[in-house]
Amino acid sequence: MIRDFDKFKQSKEYHYNLQLNYHRLIKLKTNDKTLKFEFDSSACTIHYGDCSKLSKPISFIPNTCQLDTQDCFEHRKQI
């Protein structure tokens, strides 16, 4: 499995912009000048890569076993 960091970076930027726009909207509606923006990166749980065994792009959540991607990881051995 080869990770696609560019795709993950795009996803992270997308989530950052969503949260920033939502923060600005709340700030505008409440007219609160003291609200500070803090990015919650836990929303970016999906990572991207290419499966070298199946020759296809995949998305996965780290530390989560997914049936459709379990063959793509070398450290998962057949017992």
The pLDDT profile of the chain, 79 residues, written as one tens digit per residue, is 788 899 999 999 999 999 999 999 999 999 888 889 999 988 888 899 988 888 889 888 888 878 778 778 765 555 4
What DSSP string runs through the chain?
-EE-HHHHHHHHHHHHHHHHHHHHHHHHHHT-S-------GGG---EEEEETTTTEEEEE-TT---TTTGGG-TT----
What was the pLDDT predicted at 62?
83
**Per-domain residue ranges of the chain:** 2-72
- Model pTM? 0.72
Alpha carbons 76 and 79: distance in angstroms, whole number: 9
| CA geometry: angle 1, 48, 73, nearest 5 deg | 25
